[in-house]
Amino acid sequence: MNRLLSIACCGLLCAWSAGAQERAEKEKEKEIPEKNPFDTPADAATGRKYFLGHCASCHGSDGEGGRGINLTTGRYRMGGSDRELFKTISRGIPGSEMPGSRLSDNEVWRLVAYARRLATAGAEEKAPGDATAGKLVYETKGGCVQCHVAGGRGGNLGPELSEIGMRRSLKFLRQSLTDPDAFVADDYKTVTVVTRSGERITGVRLNLDDYSIQLRDTKENLRSFLKRDLKEYTLEKRSLMPPYGTALSATELENLVAYLSSLRGKP
């Protein structure tokens, strides 16, 4: 009986503690101002230093995007007010690669000030190409649909592109097409294995541990190998995506960039 009472009391205590924490978080959230209290040019300059140290590895040194979204467009998944940006940077985005910040509130506000200026600088960027013609290149001559999903359709060998226009700048998109090895996302690193029978298989590395390697080959088959059964394996820095600098004309390339830039997810 005493043990049951102890368990019940423990459960009530945990529930009360969780409830108290939730109430405290809601009260703290009410204290977040709508307008950034640190929004001078000097604050933004300081925010840039924090950005380069904590954010640039995912969002690009100029906010042009990479693993994280392109911050020069002024479009944000969790809302774009000063208050919403503060909450996103402070807490991160659950279920994504965006972690919460360890910076102080004042430092986060200065990051918000810098992010605002990034959006102002890049808000007028317009792709010079024809997005409609670029979609045709994407689906036919470019062959992009074979490896990439956009709008729920396509292959899975490469990254999904449904929101690529929000994540990457025009400069980044052009470079990705002409020099795909310049940036390869961690989830799409290339690996080549050679079995003891001499079979060579190249694909996207899915997992690598002390004993085994898992990959998705170029036909999108999932393959798993024990290291002891391999003659060799090579982790490569190159992308599986071919360069399009010579495969497409300059006009086709600009049209393809315009189409990719137009992919912003659900409106």
Q: What is the pLDDT of residue 183?
A: 86
The model's pLDDT over 188-231, given as tens digits with 9 standing for 90+, comes to: 999 999 999 999 999 999 999 999 999 999 999 999 999 999 99
Domain spans of the chain?
30-122, 131-183+242-262, 190-236
pLDDT (mean) for 155-168? 90
Asked: is 190-236 a CATH 2.30.30.100 domain? The reply is yes
Say whether 190-236 and 131-183+242-262 share the same fold: no
The full 3-state SS of the chain, as one line of letters, equals CHHHHHHHHHHHHHHHHHHHHHHHHHHHHHCCCCCCCCCCHHHHHHHHHHHHHHCHHHHCCCCCCCCCCCCCCCCCCCCCCHHHHHHHHHHCCCCCCCCCCCCCHHHHHHHHHHHHHHHHHHCCCCCCCCHHHHHHHHHCCCCHHHCCEECCEECCCCCCCCCHHHHCCHHHHHHHHHCHHHCCCHHHCEEEEEECCCCEEEEEEEEECCCEEEEEECCCCEEEEEHHHEEEEEEECCCCCCCCCCCCCHHHHHHHHHHHHHCCCCC
Question: Which CATH number does 30-122 carry?
Answer: 1.10.760.10
**pLDDT over 70 for what percent of the chain?**
87
Residue with tokens 């977040």: 32
The model's pLDDT over 52-66, given as tens digits with 9 standing for 90+, comes to: 999 998 888 888 877
- Which architecture characterizes domain 131-183+242-262 according to CATH? Orthogonal Bundle (1.10)
Q: In the structure, what pLDDT confidence band is assigned to residue 97 with cuts at 50, 70 and 90?
A: confident
The model's pLDDT over 35-55, given as tens digits with 9 standing for 90+, comes to: 999 999 999 999 999 999 999
* Whether 176 contacts 182, CB under 8 Å: yes
* Whether 222 contacts 216, CB under 8 Å: yes
pLDDT (mean) for 120-139? 85
pLDDT over threshold 80, residue 98: yes
Which residues neighbour 14 within 8 Å (Cβ) at sequence distance 6 or greater?
none
What does the mean pLDDT of the chain come to? Answer: 88
Q: Cα Rg for the chain, rounded, in angstroms? A: 23
pLDDT over threshold 60, residue 266: yes
Closest CA to 168 of 75, 252, 80: 75
Q: In the structure, what pLDDT confidence band is assigned to residue 121 with cuts at 50, 70 and 90?
A: low
* Whether 75 contacts 264, CB under 8 Å: yes
